[in-house]
């Protein structure tokens, strides 16, 4: 293992307090942080949410997940000064924690910001350059992701990297039951296989490819659900592609978690054709609820498939077509068998241990600048 500085291992230090940013999840969008925080607390480590407006917090670790959120706040209408203040507090927190022997840890969830409106932001470029120079340890959700991180962000090449897997959502979303009565209520016939695209309909996820491929399937054998928030342009595109099709249900809004769980309860296969992404929480949501997934091949997805099996995660390369949907339908496990995906490797308890071990290794490393 290499580090930005010559490494001098010190006596192992126990981590007692972690300051995390963000420290809370979004109930109707992303519960990853909520599950992670609870699991780390259950393992005996104190976790505080970073106070971005006025922080005097101290901790052993400042754990950052999405640093670009600072730039996202700054770009909003009338929020420039607030964003500048939060950026000031951010680096002030880093200095304080490092001054008292703490370390900065970054879970690299994405290689570029999800929000394309941040593309080309001079502020974000300066902010990230300064932040990366302060990072002591980088975390990846997969082993395969480490090489991609180093290639995309060369400044992190000399920083120690560790794998901390994405926890599953079984404890927070429930067991995932296949509900025939809900299918009937939604007008889904017994012989129709339900394909679903659930989550934000961003262009990089290519929901348009799902709609186009689905139109070639027999109406009496297939049903499509597309649910999630979408831009006006994407709403128009999807509406035009599916207009007049009786076996399509559109719900293009931010769908509450309870309704999302109901949609998964009638879904046979989740479809996720996007190729321009690094990690996807949607895949973990579906597998947690016992729903098999079609996704694009990537090194990280291939690693997940090796763990859960090809009967749960079908990976494709090339065009997204009717033939692909039909082949996946033959390969993926049938939901009416009552089978559930073995996600032991992604249990919150295992993920907490991985994080705590990474924190303690960070505390044993020679400190980076900051």
Please check whether residues 244 and 225 belong to one and the same domain: yes
Domain of 142 in residue numbering reads as: 17-167+347-363
Length of the chain measured in residues:
370
The verdict on residue 132 lying in a domain is yes
Mean pLDDT of 7-18: 74
Q: Name which of 353, 352, 360, 364 is nearest 35 in CA terms.
A: 352
Q: How far apart are CA 329 and CA 334, in angstroms?
A: 8
Please check whether residues 124 and 157 belong to one and the same domain: yes
Angle between helices 232-242 and 207-214 (to 10 degrees): 10
The verdict on residue 246 lying in a domain is yes
Q: How many domains does the chain have?
A: 2
Evaluate if residue 5 carries a pLDDT over 60. Answer: no
Per-residue confidence at 368, pLDDT binned at 50, 70, 90? low
Sheet holding 313-316, edge to edge: 248-251, 222-227, 193-198, 269-272, 293-296, 313-316
Number of Cβ atoms within 10 Å of the Cβ of 154: 10
CATH number of the domain to which 126 belongs: 3.40.50.2000
Mean pLDDT (the chain, rounded): 91
Please check whether residues 337 and 355 belong to one and the same domain: no
Tell me if residue 30 falls in helix, strand or coil: strand
Residues 110-132: pLDDT tens digits? Answer: 887 665 665 668 888 999 999 99
Are the C-beta atoms of 131 and 367 separated by less than 8 Å? no
Evaluate if residue 107 carries a pLDDT over 90. Answer: yes
Please check whether residues 152 and 185 belong to one and the same domain: no
Question: What is the pLDDT, as a whole number, of residue 11?
Answer: 61
Please check whether residues 207 and 108 belong to one and the same domain: no
Mean pLDDT of 286-295: 97
Please check whether residues 224 and 84 belong to one and the same domain: no
Whether the bond between 249 and the residue before it is cis, its omega within 30 degrees of 0, is: no
Residues 22-40: pLDDT tens digits? Answer: 998 776 568 999 999 999 9
Question: What is the pLDDT, as a whole number, of residue 288?
Answer: 96
The verdict on residue 2 lying in a domain is no
Mean pLDDT of 234-243: 95
Higher pLDDT, 72 or 324: 324
pTM of model > 0.75: yes
Please check whether residues 243 and 130 belong to one and the same domain: no
Look at the block and give the residue holding tokens 């027999």: 218
Return the minimum-mean-pLDDT range out of 7-21, 123-137, 205-219, 285-299.
Answer: 7-21
Are the C-beta atoms of 69 and 53 separated by less than 8 Å? no
Please check whether residues 331 and 358 belong to one and the same domain: no
Please check whether residues 275 and 133 belong to one and the same domain: no
Please check whether residues 137 and 251 belong to one and the same domain: no
Mean pLDDT of 193-202: 93
Evaluate if residue 3 carries a pLDDT over 60. Answer: no
Number of Cβ atoms within 10 Å of the Cβ of 101: 11
Please check whether residues 283 and 163 belong to one and the same domain: no
Q: How far apart are CA 20 and CA 296, in angstroms?
A: 31
Please check whether residues 47 and 125 belong to one and the same domain: yes
Residues 317-340: pLDDT tens digits? Answer: 999 999 999 999 999 999 989 899
């Amino acid at each position: 293992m290499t580090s930005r500085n010559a490494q001098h291992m010190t006596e192992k230090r126990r981590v007692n307090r972690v300051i995390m940013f963000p420290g809370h999840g979004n109930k109707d969008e992303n519960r990853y942080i909520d599950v992670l925080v609870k699991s780390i607390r259950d393992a005996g480590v104190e976790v505080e949410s970073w106070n971005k407006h006025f922080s005097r917090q101290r901790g052993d670790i400042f754990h950052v997940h999405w640093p670009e959120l600072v730039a996202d706040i700054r770009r909003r209408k009338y929020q420039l000064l607030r964003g500048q203040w939060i950026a000031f507090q951010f680096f002030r927190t880093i200095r304080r924690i490092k001054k008292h022997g703490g370390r900065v840890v970054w879970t690299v969830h994405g290689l570029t910001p999800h929000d394309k409106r941040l593309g080309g932001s001079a502020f974000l470029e300066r902010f990230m350059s300064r932040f990366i120079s302060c990072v002591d340890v980088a975390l990846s959700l997969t082993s395969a992701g480490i090489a991609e991180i180093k290639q995309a962000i060369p400044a992190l090449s000399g920083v120690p990297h560790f794998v901390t897997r994405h926890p599953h959502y079984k404890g927070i979303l429930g067991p995932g039951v296949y509900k025939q009565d809900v299918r009937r209520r939604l007008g889904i016939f017994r012989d129709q296989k339900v394909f679903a695209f659930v989550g934000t309909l961003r262009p990089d996820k290519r929901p348009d490819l799902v709609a186009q491929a689905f139109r070639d399937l027999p109406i009496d054998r297939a049903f499509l659900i597309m649910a999630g928030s979408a831009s006006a342009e994407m709403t128009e595109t999807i509406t035009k592609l599916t207009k007049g099709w009786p076996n399509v249900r559109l719900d293009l809004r931010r769908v509450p978690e309870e309704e999302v769980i109901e949609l998964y309860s009638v879904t046979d296969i989740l479809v996720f054709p996007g190729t321009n992404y690094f990690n996807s929480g949607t895949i973990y949501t579906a597998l947690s609820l016992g729903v098999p997934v079609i996704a694009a091949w990537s090194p990280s997805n291939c690693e997940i498939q090796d763990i859960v099996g090809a009967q749960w995660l079908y990976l494709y390369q090339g065009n997204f077509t009717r033939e692909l949907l039909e082949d996946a339908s033959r390969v993926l496990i049938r939901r009416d068998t009552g089978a559930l995906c073995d996600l032991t490797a992604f249990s919150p308890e295992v993920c907490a241990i991985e994080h705590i071990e990474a924190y303690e290794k960070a505390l044993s490393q020679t400190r980076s600048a900051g």
